[in-house]
Structure 1
């Protein structure tokens, strides 16, 4: 089956935040607070603290998803990442934060990479293959904007 460029599609943002690294780390790993900050994720809860969590997302079109995430990177206080799973045994996404200490500030690099699993993006490009590049770029742009919004809300809440 044609992948149309979905697997490996990646975006990210770099933001200098006015928080020391340890304070930012506490926010980034506070999965239960993501619903306060994210434009899409409205719920998060640890299933196994530091190892697995569940998340619920709501999209502009009203679609809701329920996912399980497995932590793949936990290097306090500099890196935190996880794979996202739907109903399959393979992840459909990977999210990661990399933090660099700048004293009273922290440089945050947040990235998203699409995995091989089934997702709304993959279904969209399969349904409209002639628009695959446009659909993928639109979603990556939306994710980058959401990252910026989430980080700004997190910074405000933690300040």
Structure 2
């Protein structure tokens, strides 16, 4: 696990990476198609482009519908804040200037393949996690740690699934 920060106010992050035996352009097909993520995620259930967008680009927005056993169901609007094909795709959840979280994929060509990293940041804006922290402020560090571990687990599962898809060429 590669994460920093002790508490939510520190805007903690988590990241993981994997080497994929496929060129960046092939990996990019899966990373840049938001419809792939609900197939890979245990939390993200559905996504849909908004405002007539049919794919990512700076400022393009999409809705995400998620569910978690402890947090319930929720819907968010995300905005693409970084887009450089086939290298970087980043979106901010909520207000792009002060998001509840940010998520990013970064691709680097290496040898005969691609190093794919997925990164996530919690905050700085309040989120569903903030309710739990406000109810139990003495347990903030543990609450954040548990959620970061969930993020990490999800990220590793995403990376493994993208690796399988890209290496199979499907």
For 2:39, the equivalent position in structure 1 comes to 36
Equivalent-residue separation in structure 2 for 1:80 and 1:126 (angstroms): 32
For 1:21, the equivalent position in structure 2 comes to 24
Equivalent-residue separation in structure 1 for 2:63 and 2:143 (angstroms): 26
Q: Which runs of 4+ in 1 moved over 4 A?
A: none
TM-score (norm 2): 0.83
Decide whether the 8 Å contact of 1:39 with 1:150 is kept in 2: no
Q: RMSD value over aligned CA atoms?
A: 2.0
Please say which of residues 136-145 and 5-14 is displaced more in the overlay.
5-14
SS in structure 2 at match of 1:118: coil
Equivalent-residue separation in structure 1 for 2:90 and 2:75 (angstroms): 18
Equivalent-residue separation in structure 2 for 1:151 and 1:28 (angstroms): 10
Decide whether the 8 Å contact of 2:108 with 2:114 is kept in 1: yes
- 2:154 pairs with 1:151: no
For 1:132, the equivalent position in structure 2 comes to 140
Per the alignment, do residues 30 and 127 of structure 1 end up closer, same or farther by CA in structure 2, a change over 3 Å counting?
same
SS in structure 2 at match of 1:35: helix
Decide whether the 8 Å contact of 2:71 with 2:128 is kept in 1: no
For 1:111, the equivalent position in structure 2 comes to 119
Decide whether the 8 Å contact of 2:88 with 2:106 is kept in 1: yes
Equivalent-residue separation in structure 1 for 2:28 and 2:107 (angstroms): 8
SS in structure 1 at match of 2:99: coil
Per the alignment, do residues 99 and 123 of structure 1 end up closer, same or farther by CA in structure 2, a change over 3 Å counting?
same
